Structure 1
Amino acid sequence: MGGPNLEVFRFGMYIMFPIAIMYYYGKNLDNRFSVPDFWPKPEQTNRIPFEKEEIHSELERLRQRRLFLREKRLEQDKAWGRRSEGENGSDS
């Protein structure tokens, strides 16, 4: 059996080994694991309008977009309606 010096050495290894590994892999993490251009730049992100004019212009833009998509959807519904009427009419 080993003496007290061996036990002190083993205890030191049990404590120091994880600390040494964390120190080795933990330093310079920004350069080691960084992905260039991962986060969007401020001009690429959404900006919340705070001024009254900006809010009104944003609401108008959203309203125009909603109406455009509604018109597009209605045109598609009409096209699908004509197709389904033709298919249903030929069955009878």
Structure 2
Amino acid sequence: MFGLYILFPIGYMYYFGTNLEERFTVPDFWPKEGQTHKIPYEKDEIQSELARLKARRLALRDQRLANEAQHQGENASQ
């Protein structure tokens, strides 16, 4: 047991050593400032973001309804 208590920390220090930063880091792991979400805090920014989200939601809804109508038209003709 004494050998285990002595050799384990020495082996651990020998394996990992002092160059942990170079061996175990992933380059560019965290996203840059421009790649992250920017939460609006001002009233004007919040209103413009809500308008953008509503326009996106309505565009996706129109696209979905058009696809459903086309799909129903194909089923009716068969």
Q: Which category of TM-score, normalised to the shorter sequence, fits these structures?
A: 0.7 to 0.9
2:28 to 25, 32, 37: 37
Q: Counterpart of 2:41?
A: 50
For the pair 1:84 / 2:40, whether they are aligned, the reply is: no
- Equivalent pairs counted in the alignment come to 77
Structure 1 residues 56, 83: closer, same or farther in 2, change over 3 A?
same
Superposed displacement of residue 57, structure 1: 1.0
State the TM-score, normalizing by the size of structure 1: 0.74
- Unaligned ranges ≥5, structure 2: none
Structure 1 residues 26, 70: closer, same or farther in 2, change over 3 A?
farther
- Unaligned ranges ≥5, structure 1: 1-9, 88-92
Q: CA RMSD in A?
A: 1.5
Percent identity between matched residues is 44
The higher relative CO (CA closer than 8 Å, separation ≥ 6) is in 2
Superposed, 1:15-34 pairs within 5 Å as 15-24=5-14, 25=16, 27-34=18-25
Cα distance in 2 for partners of 1:56, 1:28 equals 50
Q: Counterpart of 1:6?
A: none
Superposed displacement of residue 77, structure 1: 0.6
Q: Rg: which structure is higher? A: 1
Cα distance in 1 for partners of 2:61, 2:18 equals 55
Give the AA of the match of 1:74: L
